[in-house]
Structure 1
Amino acid sequence: MPDSLHVALLDASLGDTHVQRNFTRELAARLSIVRVSEGDMPQPWPDANAPRTAWPYDALIVSGSQSSVYDDRPWIAHVEQYVRRALAAHAPVLGVCWGHQLLAQALGGTVHSQSRYELGYVTVEQIADDPIWKDVPHSFTVFATHSDAVTRLPENATLLARNNAGVQAFRHGSAVGVQFHPEYDRRCAQDMIERKSLPDAEKQTALQTITDANVQAARAPKQLLGNFLRMAQAKRPASRNA
């Protein structure tokens, strides 16, 4: 039997968040969690001429963060450099929220602050067919929390989903970025809204989206996490499946 997939989770969140709890619960894989926002880094890539089997991971996931990808912080530059190396090696990479924006920036797209915060359970529409959407409804409900957004996709990227807030998902080769949070549950959604430094009326509007119906509907997009792992399994070097 093959070993379980080994996934590096680059936790870019600041302080005490739900990132590790959420992804540990939702991913059927062996996770190596790396607190990149605290200066930790995943195991380095091998020499450029070495086979990808020399890299210890089968896939890479980059989490959300309260920072901006364009902030002048050394750890962000280090993460972006690491992600570029993964992309150059055609490794499976999933970027979530901040990670989605970092993917776009690393590939030559642009990310800017927006005048309106997208916060709460929202509706997203698929734009293009893709394996990441297997068993995910064409129009789906999911939790979003961001004030930055991808304003220009990288060259050769495919837009996969959008809504009135803009780009919600894209693919570029073996990498997929999603602006929303498929990994969130009710507890996380409520806590993240309550932590925001926003007017009370704006937070109350977002809290009102946390209904039983929306929480239930948001279970379907979680399927994309399993779909990503299946795509990573398909790209796994044969020697690791022995």
Structure 2
Amino acid sequence: MPDVPHVALLDASLDDTHVQRNFTRELDARLSIVRVSEGEPLAPWPDAGAPRADWPYDALIVSGSQSSVYDDRPWIASVERYVQRALASEAPVLGVCWGHQLLAQTLGGTVRSQERYELGYVSVEQVAEDAIWDDVPHLFTVFATHSDAVTQLPKDATLLAENEAGVQAFRHGSAVGVQFHPEYDRRCAQDMIRRKSLPDAEKQAALDTITDANVQAARAPKQLLHNFLRMAKSHRTAHSA
């Protein structure tokens, strides 16, 4: 196998939401998929004093979910504790949608339900330079689907991107959260909209954003996934030296 990072994908989805298909397609990595929402275990952290290299992963990606990060579910608390350990060791962590919100909550930020459901292809603007944005346009198009949002960033977090709906990306140390879905394709976007328990007019308005132009434009921000993998490889090199 090529020299690629070993990434644990924490699949927090509650049913078949294309998580595994999307990330398997987009990531050039050795991917260990763990259905954390079903209680599947992750590799344990090394005991105190043990070499950091005993942990098998180079990085974590936390997926989207139909749950809310503030729900009282044992598996959510378990994921949060695991992410805390990763952050404490400065391992690279990428949170996508629900994962973005979990990162914010874990680090002391605030996540709240919003009146407006952001759904469909939307525009997002970078507001700070960061390696995660290498070769990503300053203003980009991407798919979003969420009714919860980060309403207060964690202390010492850097806002990386936003739009009229609010926070769209942030960094805190080795962790990056993105509210949108860089991993989606047209098939996934259509399916996720049609599943929503929303008025038909709202769903149709979101479906109307799935144009050839928007689908093509949304290929550019997929680059941030490759940028994250590059960070994971750099982290592995640093910790194996």
Q: 1:238 to 1:108 in 2, by over 3 A?
A: closer
How far apart, CA to CA, are the structure 2 residues paired with 1:48 and 1:86?
14
Q: Is the 8 A contact 1:11 1:63 kept in 2?
A: yes
1:50 is displaced (CA, Å) by: 2.2
Aligned to 1:193: 193
Residues 83-130 of structure 1, C-alpha deviation per residue, up to 9 Å, x if partnerless? 000000000000000000000000000100000000000000000000
What amino acid does structure 2 have at the position aligned with 1:102? L
Contact conserved, 1:113 with 1:147, CA < 8 A, in 2?
A: yes
Give the partner amino acid of 2:41: M
- The TM-score normalised by the length of structure 1 is 0.97
Alignment gaps of 5+ in structure 1: none
| Amino acid corresponding to residue 92 of structure 1 in structure 2 | P
The 5 Å alignment of 1:3-152 reads 3-152=3-152
Contact 1:14–1:65 under 8 Å retained in 2:
yes
User: The residue matched to 2:236 in structure 1 has which SS?
Assistant: coil
Q: What do residues 53-112 of structure 1 show as CA deviations (whole Å, max 9, x unaligned)?
A: 111000000000000000000000000000000000000000000000000000000100
2-structure distance, mates of 1:218, 1:155? 30
Equivalent pair of 2:4/2:233 in contact (CA under 8 Å): no
1:53 and 1:237 in contact (8 A); partners too:
no
Deviations 1:128-187 (A, max 9, x none): 000000000000000000000000000000000000000000000000000000000000
Unaligned runs of 5+ in 2: none
Once the two structures are overlaid, the 10-residue window that deviates more, 44-53 or 81-90, is 44-53
The CA RMSD over aligned residues, in Å, is: 1.3
Q: Percent identity?
A: 83
Paired residues in the alignment total 241
TM score, norm. by length of structure 2: 0.97
Q: 2:205, 2:167 → 1: CA distance?
A: 22
Give 3-state SS (helix, strand or coil) of 1:231's partner.
helix
- Contact kept in structure 2, 1:134 and 1:224, CA below 8 Å: yes
| 1:47 Cα deviation after fit | 1.2
**Do the aligned partners of 1:3 and 1:240 also contact (CA within 8 Å) in 2?**
no
Q: 1:202 — aligned with what?
A: 202
